[in-house]
Structure 1
């Protein structure tokens, strides 16, 4: 059996926190409100091997499992999607996410 660690991710829409068992050799790049074009996402309920082989994990806040506030108290999520994006390589070159998560202009619009 593979060793795992519990990792917490925060919904960028409402700050709800989800806990997820992950392999200890994490390759997380970013959490975004939109899918990265052409990337394949696993779901939170997929087996560990499937999640770790994907390009990232798609979440639906509070609808695909329990979420908490930052203190660990169970709350309802907002129901909006967000995406954990892993570091990806193609032909040995690290691919940049679209839009980039650093450098250049950034616009964070909250509705």
Structure 2
């Protein structure tokens, strides 16, 4: 069974839609890709999307909509910037944390 899922662009608030299986395992939405993660696009087939580490979106594609001043849905162009949906990943039954972390705290790995 598939469902239509919406994600909000973290840059401008426009909505993007994609067909997904109903058993979602989403971790975060970020403005930058996670190092070493492989991303599908919303136009890929369902198997490719679900076997990837996440989905790379470009705001303004895939039927984006936003909310007008009166709260009603209205069509928007989107900002055109990329954003990334990161899935929960497991290795040997242990959840992996994204690298770099999805929060904006200090980094101690000394990588640029």
TM range (shorter): 0.7 to 0.9
Contact 2:35/2:100 (8 A) holds in 1: no
Cα root mean square deviation, aligned: 1.6
Runs of 4+ in 1 over 6 A off after TM superposition: none
The within-5 A match list for 1:1-111 is 3-62=1-60, 64-70=61-67, 71-101=72-102, 105=105
> How far, CA to CA, are the matches of 1:20 and 1:65 in structure 2?
7
> How far, CA to CA, are the matches of 1:72 and 1:56 in structure 2?
27
Larger Rg: 2
Q: Partner of 2:73: helix, strand, or coil?
A: coil
Distance of aligned partners of 1:96 and 1:79 in 2 relative to their CA distance in 1, 3 Å threshold: same
> How far, CA to CA, are the matches of 2:29 and 2:73 in structure 1?
20
- Unpaired runs of at least 5, structure 1: 107-111
The CA deviation string for residues 25-51 of structure 1, in whole angstroms up to 9 with x for no partner, is: 000000000100000000010011110
Deviation of 1:52 after TM superposition, in Å, equals: 0.7
Q: Partner of 1:35: helix, strand, or coil?
A: coil
